[in-house]
Structure 1
Amino acid sequence: MNTPTSPQNTILVLAPPSVQGATIPVIGAHIGVPLAIYNLVPDGLGARVRIDPPRAGTVDPTDTIVLMLKGESAPLDSKPVGNPNAPIEMRIPVGRLNHARVNELYYDIIRNSQNVGSSTPMLEALFNMIRPGLKDVRPDIVGHSELGMTLPDEIKDGVGPGIVSAQVCFTYPYGRAYDTITLKCNGEAFVQTCIKAAPDSAKLLEIINQAKAGKHCGVAQRLYANRAQAGDALIANAYAREYDPKYLKASECFPTADNATAAYWYETILTQDPNNAEAKQRFEELQK
Structure 2
Amino acid sequence: MSIIGTIYEDVTTDVLGHIGSWQWLVTFISATLMVPSMLNQYEDMFLLEPPREIECDVSASSSVFNTSLCTYSVLNGTKVYKCTTWHVKFLWMIWFKKSWLIFCDHKIKLLSTTIICRLGLVFGCIIFGLIADSFGRKLAISIDVVAELGFRLILTFCDSESWFLLLIFLRSLFASANIYMGIILTCEIASSSWRTLLNAVVSIPRMLSAVCLVPLANVAPNSETFNFIACIFSASLLILLRWTPESPQWLLYNRGIPKAEKTILRAAKING
Q: Is TM-score (shorter-chain normalized) higher than 0.5?
A: no
TM-score of the superposition, structure 1-length normalised? 0.21
Q: Indicate the structure with greater helix content.
A: 2
Q: Indicate the structure with greater strand content.
A: 1
By relative contact order (CA 8 Å, sep 6+), the higher-ranking structure is 2
